[in-house]
């Protein structure tokens, strides 16, 4: 879950006892659309709003409907925008795209607090909405977004995290860019000189040894671990633990030759062949990056492609 959707649920939890609230969820996009399925927005009848479903005039129309009392309070409904070229232009939907939303009334609902509690504990929870009755069920089932016109299932989970090993210039660019992509960034560097020069606001910093930092983070499927120190002793310590973790991405800076030697060293420890093959080294996409900001871009581009489920052989071939 990104910070926008987390803010939506937080506002919904705070507002729902003060009067009618409606939760809008994107359930269908056709053509170009700025927000994916499952994106949310909460609005009150007085015009207060948190979140985004389009980034355009759709939000204005939703607020007008809420103020004018045109949303039901006893059931969920489906709204469509951009079904015609005229509508697409009116609501500023790009490239003729269209959008479908589920609008559900929420008031005094216990499920909101339970979802927030679960997400803040870095766990995932499935919310199922029955549109005919607005009944909500919560479960620990895993799965992606589902909408069939009768029920809507949305998986809510924790924010993305990134642990960077090394507090150098490349790490600083990576941390700033990762924050822009909504990662909660942690940095580890036990070298006192590097700690003194680290100046990226909003990041967590630890001076403990890299392997201890990885274990303390308790990496899950929403965590990326990137080793950038150029010091094999520090990077390898982190990688030994990171490759055994549930992190969705583990990468290390260095040339092909350096990473080949790194894999040989890792094979001397209690790592399986499959675990070692999880290492992305050299880290990032091969886009010809050389400067620290360019390397940061290549790393984040690779993270985006991995999370989007892009065919990595095609992606890397296109970038070569």
* 92 neighbors 118 (Cβ within 8 angstroms): no
On whether both 143 and 202 belong to a single domain, the answer is no
Task: For residue 256, give its domain range.
Answer: 161-319
Residue 108: the pLDDT is 83
Among residues 3, 163, 24, the alpha carbon closest in space to that of 103 is found at 24
Most confident residue range from 24-38, 90-104, 147-161, 238-252: 238-252
Q: Give the number of domains in the chain.
A: 2
pLDDT > 90: what percent of the chain?
A: 66
On whether both 167 and 112 belong to a single domain, the answer is no
On whether both 16 and 130 belong to a single domain, the answer is yes
d(CA 47, CA 64): 8
Among residues 31, 92, 103, the alpha carbon closest in space to that of 57 is found at 92
On whether both 148 and 180 belong to a single domain, the answer is no
On whether both 103 and 47 belong to a single domain, the answer is yes
On whether both 283 and 311 belong to a single domain, the answer is yes
pLDDT tens readout for residues 209-234: 999 999 999 999 999 999 999 899 99
CATH number at residue 166: 3.40.50.720
Which of 133, 156, 179 is the last residue in one of the domains?
Answer: 156
Q: What is the mean pLDDT of residues 254-277?
A: 95
Could you tell me the pTM of the whole model? Answer: 0.81
Largest CA distance in the chain: 69
Residue 260: the pLDDT is 96
Q: What's the pLDDT band for 83 if we cut at 50, 70, 90? A: low
Instruction: Give 193 or 24, the one with higher predicted confidence.
Output: 24
On whether both 110 and 173 belong to a single domain, the answer is no
* 164 neighbors 238 (Cβ within 8 angstroms): no
Of the listed ranges 74-83, 184-193, 264-273, the least confidently predicted one is 74-83
Residue 15: the pLDDT is 93
d(CA 174, CA 168): 10
On whether both 172 and 255 belong to a single domain, the answer is yes
On whether both 142 and 193 belong to a single domain, the answer is no
On whether both 148 and 232 belong to a single domain, the answer is no
Residue 81: the pLDDT is 86
- Taking 90 as the threshold, does the pLDDT of residue 129 lie above it? yes
d(CA 141, CA 89): 39
On whether both 188 and 254 belong to a single domain, the answer is yes
Which of 135, 156, 177 is the last residue in one of the domains?
Answer: 156
Q: What is the mean pLDDT of residues 52-63?
A: 82
d(CA 166, CA 285): 20
Q: What's the pLDDT band for 194 if we cut at 50, 70, 90? A: confident
Residue 313: the pLDDT is 61
Which of 156, 176, 210 is the last residue in one of the domains?
Answer: 156
Q: Is 249 helix (H, G, I), strand (E, B) or coil?
A: strand
Residue 303: the pLDDT is 97
Structure tokens at 276: 């070692």
On whether both 131 and 168 belong to a single domain, the answer is no
């Amino acid at each position: 879950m990104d910070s926008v959707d987390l803010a939506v649920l937080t506002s919904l939890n705070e507002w729902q006892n003060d009067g009618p609230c409606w939760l809008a969820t994107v359930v269908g996009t056709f053509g170009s659309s700025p927000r994916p399925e499952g994106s949310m927005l909460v609005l009150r009848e007085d015009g207060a709003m948190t979140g985004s479903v389009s980034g355009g005039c759709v939000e204005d129309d939703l607020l007008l409907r809420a103020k004018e009392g045109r949303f039901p309070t006893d059931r969920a409904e489906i709204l469509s925008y951009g079904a015609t070229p005229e509508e697409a232009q009116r609501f500023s939907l790009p490239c003729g795209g269209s959008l479908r939303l589920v609008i559900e009334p929420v008031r005094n609902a216990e499920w909101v607090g339970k979802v927030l509690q679960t997400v803040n504990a870095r766990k995932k929870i499935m919310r199922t909405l029955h549109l005919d009755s607005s009944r909500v069920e919560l479960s620990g089932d895993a799965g992606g977004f589902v909408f069939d016109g009768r029920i809507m299932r949305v998986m809510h989970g924790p924010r993305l995290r990134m642990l960077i090993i090394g507090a150098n210039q490349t790490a600083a660019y990576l941390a700033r860019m990762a924050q822009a992509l909504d990662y909660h960034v942690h940095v580890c560097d036990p070298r006192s000189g590097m700690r003194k020069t680290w100046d990226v606001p909003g990041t967590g910093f630890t001076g403990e040894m890299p392997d201890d930092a990885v274990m303390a983070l308790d990496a899950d499927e929403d965590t990326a671990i990137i080793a950038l120190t150029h010091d094999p002793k520090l990077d390898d310590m982190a990688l030994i633990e990171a490759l055994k973790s549930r992190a969705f991405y583990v990468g290390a800076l260095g040339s092909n030759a350096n990473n080949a030697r790194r894999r040989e060293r890792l094979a001397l420890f209690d790592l399986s062949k499959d675990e070692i093959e999880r290492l992305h080294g050299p880290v990032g996409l091969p886009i010809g990056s050389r400067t620290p900001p360019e390397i940061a871009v290549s790393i984040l581009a690779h993270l985006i492609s991995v999370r989007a489920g892009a065919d990595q052989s095609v992606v890397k071939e296109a970038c070569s």
